[in-house]
């Protein structure tokens, strides 16, 4: 069975992802970024994460054994996602110097990395970084699903009303009293 690229992209697109911008310095030492949704945590010890970039991207060349940052975009950073995907939108993204590489401001999280390993990934390269610094905010992340940017919907408790597993009230509700222990046994 032969699959065309559109069919593969459509199938892969059924998996919802966050949206990141991988940032580094270009050959002239200037900040550079690329929108990437192929990001994942790899290991806690050591702390590793990976990004996957198409071999033709400039960022692939700039990341060759160099530090980088993974900027998890906030829901209000759609313009930044488009800008670093090669379609500039709205105001220019705001930059700052990061612990290992330039970072974007206003993100949901920023993961600053040192180079770890790079692996062949077909028409992509799999770049693994060792996490050197991590910054998080309370901002909701920007999501990508089915070829479009999305946001997390407001949480409702309606679906838990018939379940004893509601995360807001726990298994036992508010009237639960745990068993008391006694210090002596009668008998």
| Record: fold of 5-152 | Pnp Oxidase; Chain A (2.30.110)
Place of tokens 């790079």: 118
- Residue 138: count other Cβ atoms within 10 Å of its Cβ: 6
Burial class (CB in 10 A: 0-12, 13-18, 19+), 142: buried
If one compares 31 and 55, the residue with the highest pLDDT of the two is 31
Instruction: State the Cα angle at 38 between 134 and 103, rounded to 5°.
Output: 35
Q: What is the pLDDT of residue 154?
A: 76
Least confident of 32-36, 100-104, 131-135, 163-167: 163-167
pLDDT digits (tens, 9 = 90+) for 146-185: 888 888 887 666 665 656 666 655 555 555 555 554 444 4
The order of strands in the sheet holding 17-18 is: 17-18, 142-145, 148-151
Q: Where do the H-state alpha helices sit in 13-140?
A: 58-62, 78-84
pTM of the model: 0.79
Q: Where do the H-state alpha helices sit in 3-51?
A: 5-12
pLDDT digits (tens, 9 = 90+) for 15-54: 788 999 999 999 999 999 999 989 999 999 999 999 999 8
Q: What is the pLDDT of residue 161?
A: 61
């Amino acid at each position: 069975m032969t699959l065309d690229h559109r069919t593969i992209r459509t199938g892969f697109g059924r998996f919802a992802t966050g949206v990141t911008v991988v940032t580094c310095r270009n050959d002239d030492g200037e900040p550079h970024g690329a929108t990437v949704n192929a990001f994942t945590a790899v290991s806690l010890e050591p702390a590793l994460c990976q990004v996957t970039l198409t071999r033709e991207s400039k960022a692939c060349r700039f990341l060759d054994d160099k530090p980088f940052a993974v900027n998890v975009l906030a829901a209000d950073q759609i313009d930044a996602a488009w800008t670093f995907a090669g379609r500039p939108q709205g105001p220019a993204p705001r930059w700052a110097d990061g612990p290992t590489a330039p970072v974007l401001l206003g993100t949901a999280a920023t993961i600053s990395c040192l180079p770890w390993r790079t692996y062949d990934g077909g028409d992509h390269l799999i770049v693994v970084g060792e996490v050197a610094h991590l910054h998080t905010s309370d901002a909701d992340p920007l999501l990508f699903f089915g070829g479009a940017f999305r946001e997390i919907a407001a949480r409702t408790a309606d679906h838990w009303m018939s379940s004893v597993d509601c995360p807001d009230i726990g298994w036992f509700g508010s009237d639960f009293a745990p068993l008391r222990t006694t210090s002596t046994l009668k008998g």
